[in-house]
């Protein structure tokens, strides 16, 4: 079984055909999907998708793009929402200096609040970082000293330095379609050197469709293309990549492991 550990099934491009998108994923061998609620309004949408499909779970948070108007200073609302049994993660949250839609100080404050929620709930943190590597790692390391938590660097597409620091903290790396892009030589070189037991598969659908489907609306069924690319990169059979990344997912997303549908 393959797991798509990060997608957005309530976003335009997928929501209009939700049932068929999930069915195509299952047919392609994707047995679990985690859809991400990125705004307060999006929490209910993500939960709705997860409630309608046994193969779909969700994570809830406030994306850094929305930290200006919706950023969290108190973890209580998120902790309360995460009591729902189909919520398996906290986030995505983090820092995005590429678009800078949210003031950086608000992004940082909200990020720390999400970490508090992850620590208190025991659910893994889903981290978004774009052109903010040093500040992201500084916050993660500072918060880890205050109390341990688990998590994943979603959509890893950054430097070797970030990957190494994240893995050293015990975090995982989410590997998506970017791994297959022609200009991703440096990313492939880093992922090749990362321990297999720290890698997860994801799509970030509807964005970043992998080769040879680049340009199309991405969807969880396409996770298999990234799995094949990772297998080739690691010199391992596809079945081993499926087994290892699914085991990694269940180890990190412990609540998901308990909810995993029967084969």
User: Residues comprising the binding site?
Assistant: 6, 8, 92, 128, 154, 204
Cβ-based burial of 132 (10 A; exposed 0-12, middle 13-18, buried ≥19): buried
Q: For the chain, what percent of residues have pLDDT higher than 70?
A: 98
Would you say 64 and 110 are in contact if contact means Cβ atoms under 8 Å apart? Answer: yes
Provide the pLDDT confidence category of residue 239 given band limits of 50, 70 and 90. very high
Residue 53, C-beta contacts closer than 8 angstroms, at least 6 positions apart:
19, 22
Provide the pLDDT confidence category of residue 32 given band limits of 50, 70 and 90. very high
- The arithmetic mean of pLDDT across residues 155-174, rounded, is 98
Domains and CATH numbers, the chain: 2-29+64-83+97-259 (3.20.20.140)
Read off the pLDDT of residues 73-122 as tens digits, 9 standing for 90 and up. 999 999 999 999 999 999 999 999 999 999 999 999 999 999 999 999 99
Q: Is the pLDDT of residue 18 over 90?
A: yes
Q: Which residue has 């680049």 as its token pair?
A: 214
Q: Is the pLDDT of residue 263 over 90?
A: no
Dist CA 24 CA 55 (whole Å): 12
Provide the pLDDT confidence category of residue 5 given band limits of 50, 70 and 90. very high
User: Residues comprising the binding site for a divalent metal cation?
Assistant: 6, 8, 92, 128, 154, 204
Phi, psi at 199, each rounded to 5°:
-115, 140
Dist CA 254 CA 247 (whole Å): 11
User: Would you give the DSSP letter of residue 253?
Assistant: S
Q: Is the pLDDT of residue 125 over 60?
A: yes
Q: What is the pLDDT of residue 166?
A: 98
DSSP string, 26-66: HHTTEEEEEEEE-SHHHHHHHHHHHHH-TTEEEEE---GGG
Dist CA 215 CA 207 (whole Å): 9
Q: What is the pLDDT of residue 92?
A: 98
- The arithmetic mean of pLDDT across residues 10-29, rounded, is 98
Would you say 176 and 150 are in contact if contact means Cβ atoms under 8 Å apart? Answer: no
pTM to 2 decimal places: 0.96
Q: What is the pLDDT of residue 11?
A: 97
Dist CA 247 CA 95 (whole Å): 28
Read off the pLDDT of residues 171-213 as tens digits, 9 standing for 90 and up. 999 999 999 999 999 999 999 999 999 999 999 999 999 999 9
């Amino acid at each position: 079984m393959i797991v798509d550990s990060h997608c957005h099934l309530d976003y335009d491009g997928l929501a209009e055909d939700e049932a068929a998108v999930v069915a195509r994923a299952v047919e392609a061998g994707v047995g679990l999907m985690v859809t991400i609620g990125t705004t307060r309004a999006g929490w209910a949408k993500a939960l709705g998708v997860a409630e309608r499909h046994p193969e779909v779970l969700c994570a809830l948070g406030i994306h850094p793009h929305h930290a200006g108007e919706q950023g969290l200073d108190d973890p209580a609302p998120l902790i309360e929402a995460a009591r729902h049994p189909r919520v398996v993660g906290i986030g995505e949250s983090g820092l995005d200096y590429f678009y800078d839609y949210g003031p950086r100080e608000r992004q940082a404050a909200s990020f720390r609040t999400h970490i508090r929620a992850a620590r208190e709930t025991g659910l893994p943190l889903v981290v978004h970082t774009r052109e903010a590597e040093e500040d992201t790692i500084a916050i993660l390391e500072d918060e880890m000293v205050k109390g341990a938590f688990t998590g994943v660097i979603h959509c890893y597409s950054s430097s070797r330095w970030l990957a190494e620091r994240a893995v050293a903290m015990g975090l995982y790396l989410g590997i998506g379609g970017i791994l297959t892009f022609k200009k991703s030589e440096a990313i492939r070189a880093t992922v090749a050197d990362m321990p297999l037991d720290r890698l997860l598969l994801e799509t970030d659908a509807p964005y970043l469709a992998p080769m040879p489907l680049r340009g199309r609306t991405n969807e969880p069924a396409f996770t298999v293309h990234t799995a094949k690319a990772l297998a080739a990169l690691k010199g391992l059979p596809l079945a081993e990549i499926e087994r290892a990344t699914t085991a990694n997912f269940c180890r990190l997303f412990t609540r998901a492991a308990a909810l995993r549908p029967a084969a």
